[in-house]
Structure 1
Amino acid sequence: MTSATNTAVHPDVVIDPPDPAPVEAAAAPVNKVPPVALGLLGLQHVLVMYAGAVAVPLIVGRALKLAPEQIAMLVSADLFAGGLATLVQSWGLPGVGVRMPVMMGVTFAAVTPMIAMGSSPEIGLTGIYGAVIAAGLFAFLVAPLVGRLLPLFPPVVTGTIILVIGISLMKVGVNWAAGGVGNPNYGAPVFLGIAAFVLCLIMAITRYGAGFVNSASVLIGIIVGMVVAGFFGLVDFSHVATAPWFDVVRPFAFGFPTFDLVSVITLCIVMVVVMIESTGMFLALAEICADPVDEKRLTKGLRGDGLGTIIGGVFNTFPYTSFSQNIGLVGVTGVRTPYVAVVGGFIMLGLGLIPKLAAVVEAVPQCVLGGAGLVMFGMVGATGARILQAVDFAHNRNNLFVVAVSVGFGMIPLVAPNFFKQMPHALHPLLESGILLCAISAVLLNLFFNGLQSAEEARAAAKAQAAKSEH
């Protein structure tokens, strides 16, 4: 659905159309959304993705032992840059943006390698941001070629990679549930009890809730869990009181980015996986919106991922991708106009300019996040498992070896952190990323056992994979 279409069916929305639209899309009655309803629907999109959107800066900031004020800054930057990236994708720029209802958030795929980079004294945060900017530029430049890379990433590869991402992140969620690494009371019953309460509450809302309440179960669980934690004296609002109500998000707040070759290569490979995922998301969304995506428009959407990631690196945050739960929400609500995402993007921009809100997010106790993290990170792994359902294991036993060996490689840094201790130090950021090891293994083993798909088969597989990824 392009913007000109929505000008025709949104007489109350005064936004200049960026480009012409298909005639059949203009007739879609679901696009006739009053401005007030559009605002509420945009807010719903933000709330549905909010818990996942702020999770990555919390994970990275706490893993790198940043000060609470710095973590709050990461949260503000994440929301602000996510708003800009969403506007780039949904509203569009010349030659950039898929111009469909796409909400952008930081990808979980980059979390583990970024923590490895940031934990290295030689790389640190500035090295992370240098790698993010370089990976975004790489994605922007290679966007027209990604269609040719699709045959390298059939469901057996992408499903395995996403499964390992989820399993790797579970370590973070489990440690949060116990109170956080370094906590002198690690594993205290009160921490475990609150984490279990949040987990059970989310499960109950998911089971018995409906509509928006069901979609926002994780966010509601975190809010209620924070209230409960407050009764036990586990919530510290001192930083909230001192945080300003309004402040701008400044570029390069942690220093000018530095560039480490291995780190750059690592995140470039992660961006290839992200773009493959985005390709499937765009194709699936095109089906929902009855708005076909050709190669030219797909390239614009992938450039949007690249430009969004560059924006992330400049504004002190991380690589961006389209959030699958929001694509599922488009199908649930039936509202297919890109302006619903445009409104959501502006809301995220506004939230990013309110440091007091970011300080509230940072104040959420780790045990509360642990209960929610077990759900969020587990869902990432479950999404990988669902994608693997499309793989033929019965008639092609070779696929079993692709998954088995690749998962094994992906688990090495998780279960044996010193496994590559004797390898050259420059390779540690690469070898300490289970996701990267899994990706390389899965691609090579799939080529060895199965060869290359055709381009048409790869596009069909990407579309099916995206359909399985929607929450």
Structure 2
Amino acid sequence: MSTSHKAAVPPAPPRQPLPAFQLFLVGLQHVLLMYGGAIAVPLIVGQAAGLSREDVAFLINADLLVAGVATIVQSLGIGAVGIRMPVMMGASFAAVGSMVAMAGMPGVGLQGIFGATIAAGAFGLLIAPFMSKVVRFFPPLVTGTVITSIGLSLFPVAVNWAGGGQQAETFGSPLYLMVAGLVLAIILLIHRFMRGFWVNVSVLVGMGLGYVLAGSLGMVDLSGLAQAPWLQMVTPLHFGLPTFSLAPILSMCLVVVIIFVESTGMFLALGQVTDREVTPGMLRRGLLCDAGASLVAGLFNTFTHSSFAQNIGLVQMTGVRCRYVTVMAGALLIGLSLLPKAAYLIASIPPAVLGGASIAMFGMVTATGIKILQEADIADRRNQLLVAVSIGFGLIPVVRPDFFAQLPAWMAPITHSGIAMATLSALLLNVLFNILGGAGRSAQREACHHP
């Protein structure tokens, strides 16, 4: 049955372009999926900094512009920068806690955040060549554990969306659940009864029909759309010259290290999905793009950038592995940054619609991790313990975000990231069990086989 399914829906080879219209639709899927996350960071930081609604809107457009350019560079590659795989870029959540704290610090504020972002981006450019060499510490055991944790850490986002959004007054209302269930059902039915083009755009079709249903039920809020300008250019240094303070810079440099750890796991996950081996050279180019995007972001009034994990699930589910899809998505993000009305319209998609699609896509990330773990020696009890403990650590910030609240504030970028926690745990335990303990384990096995 598995063979026939693969024959019916063959995945597109990584470098094979799709027809223009299909390229546009699949690229739009990527934008719709990551849009909520892309605008969430400037929304949170803008509100923490006490900005007006117009200034917050400018922050969002600036983020869309940088995300679009970074996505194109990451996917297409320019010289020694860009991993040349279907990667979506956007403002990283890893820095949110630090930036919210900075926004309220005397003498720091928004200009200090931008200055710290620029400095951290420069720091990232310096350390990227060294960080890229860690790929050899990511065997299938570690990679599978990290990817499984990525999917599991994303699942609460999908569930919150499906229930109507975290701020919904009637969270879990049957109305929200019905809309989310319809979107999920449409995606599943398309995968069951259709093939080719329709499978590639199944998420877009499901979300489109869900949006129409939600609109007919009065769930779509378009208030303020008429007041939004048609065209607005994003200019650098809109909020004034950045300022540079030691404590914020050190905090953001730590964030960049965590982003590199997360991005390494995501790049390796994408390599598994697209059947490409991620070499140290590719990893270096990808991390350089992350760092370069953060440096430019500080100049263009936005924040540290990284690859988006949720889009890996979309690549896996649709089977469309062509990097020009995300190049198209990057172009759409740039267009949205110039057209506030269009960006506003996409932002009006109800959380329940996003939730229905995300349950399938984030679950696919987890399924990919489980599949990779099958390549490891998972029968070994130490390896089972590595998987168990690492996934457990990864779920701590998901289950109880305030679990590490009493630890020093500088640790927040690590302890608030389930992906970072799982990755560091898997790396350290693999070194302990399989690298440092490798010789001892081999001798023990020989003794068992030759009494």
TM-score clears 0.5: yes
Task: Answer yes or no: is 1:270 the counterpart of 2:259.
Answer: yes
Q: Indicate how the Cα distance of structure 1 residues 32 and 382 shifts in structure 2: closer, same or farther if over 3 A, else same.
A: closer
Tell me which residue corresponds to 1:468: none
From 343, 346, 362, the equivalent of 1:361 is 346
Query: SS in structure 2 opposite 1:144?
Result: helix
Q: Residue 230 of structure 1 corresponds to which residue in structure 2?
A: 215
Q: Is contact 1:87-1:345 (8 Å) kept?
A: yes
For 1:439 and 1:295, locate their aligned partners in 2 and report how far apart those are by CA, in whole Å. Answer: 18
Among candidates 369, 374, 389, match of residue 389 of structure 1: 374
Once the two structures are TM-superposed, the CA of residue 281 in structure 1 deviates from its matched residue by 5.1
Could you tell me which residue of structure 2 aligns to residue 424 of structure 1? Answer: 408
Give the conservation status (yes or no) of the 8 Å contact 1:82–1:348.
Answer: yes
- Count of residue correspondences: 410
Please name the residue that 1:469 is paired with. Answer: none
Q: Distance in 1 between matches of 2:399 and 2:70?
A: 35
The alignment status of 1:200 with 2:181, answered yes or no, reads: no
* 1:320 and 2:306 correspond: yes
Q: Report the secondary structure of 1:239's partner residue.
A: coil
Please say if residues 103 and 344 of structure 1, whose CA atoms lie closer than 8 Å, have aligned partners that are also in contact: no
The reply to whether residue 43 of structure 1 matches residue 32 of structure 2 is no
Describe how 1:112-131 pairs up with structure 2 within 5 A: 113-117=94-98, 120=101, 122=104
Structure 2 residue aligned with 1:378: 363
Q: CA deviation at 1:446?
A: 0.8
1:176 CA drift (Å): 2.0
Residue 146 of structure 2 corresponds to 161
The 5-angstrom pairing of residues 1-400 of structure 1 reads 39-40=20-21, 42-60=23-41, 76-89=61-74, 92-97=77-82, 100=84, 102-106=85-89, 110-111=92-93, 113-117=94-98, 120=101, 122=104, 133-134=118-119, 136-251=121-236, 256=242, 259=248, 261-275=250-264, 277-278=266-267, 299-315=284-300, 316=302, 318-321=304-307, 324=312, 345-394=330-379, 396-400=380-384
8 A contact 1:131–1:260 mirrored in 2: yes
Contact preservation (8 Å) 1:244, 1:354: yes
Equivalent AA in structure 2 for residue 415 of structure 1? V
**Cα gap change, 1:421/1:145 in structure 2, threshold over 3 Å: closer, same or farther?**
closer
Does residue 424 of structure 2 align to residue 440 of structure 1? yes
Letter in 1 for 2:340: P
Q: Give me the whole-angstrom Cα distance separating, in 1, the residues matched to 2:291 and 2:418.
A: 23
| 1: CA distance, partners of 2:77 / 2:54 | 33
TM-aligned CA deviation for residue 218 of structure 1: 2.0
For residues 445 and 47 of structure 1, the distance between their equivalents in structure 2, rounded to whole angstroms, comes to 40
- Alpha-carbon spacing, 1:188–1:168, altered in 2? closer, same or farther (3 Å): same
Q: Which runs of 5+ in 1 are unaligned?
A: 1-29, 455-471
Secondary structure of the corresponding residue to residue 182 of structure 1: coil
Within the candidate set 372, 385, 392, 1:408 is matched to: 392
Q: Name the CA distance, whole Å, in 2 between partners of 1:70 and 1:80.
A: 15
Q: Deviations over 1:197-222 (max 9, x none)?
A: 22222222232332232122222222
- Partner Cα separation in structure 1 for residue 178 and residue 40 of structure 2: 21
In 2, Cα distance between equivalents of 1:176 and 1:283: 28
Amino acid at match of 1:319: H
Q: TM-score, normalised by structure 2?
A: 0.74
Separation (CA, whole Å) in 2 of partners of 1:452 and 1:69: 56
Instruction: Work out whether residues 82 and 289 of structure 2, in 8 Å CA contact, stay in contact via their aligned partners in 1.
Output: yes
Distance across 2 between alignment mates of 1:167 and 1:340: 26
C-alpha offsets along residues 133-178 of structure 1, whole Å, 9 cap, x if unaligned? 5554344333333442112222222322232232222222222222
How far apart are the structure 1 equivalents of 2:218 and 2:381?
54
Query: Contact between 1:176 and 1:366, CA under 8 Å: does it hold in 2?
Result: yes
RMSD: 4.1
| C-alpha contact 2:393 2:421 (8 A) present in aligned 1 | yes
Q: Which amino acid aligns with 2:425?
A: S
Identical amino acids, percent of aligned pairs: 37
Amino acid at match of 1:187: G
Could you tell which deviates more after superposition, 358-367 or 143-152?
143-152
Deviation at 1:300, TM superposition (A): 4.1
Counterpart-to-counterpart distance in 2, 1:74 and 1:179:
25
Superposed displacement of residue 303, structure 1: 2.5
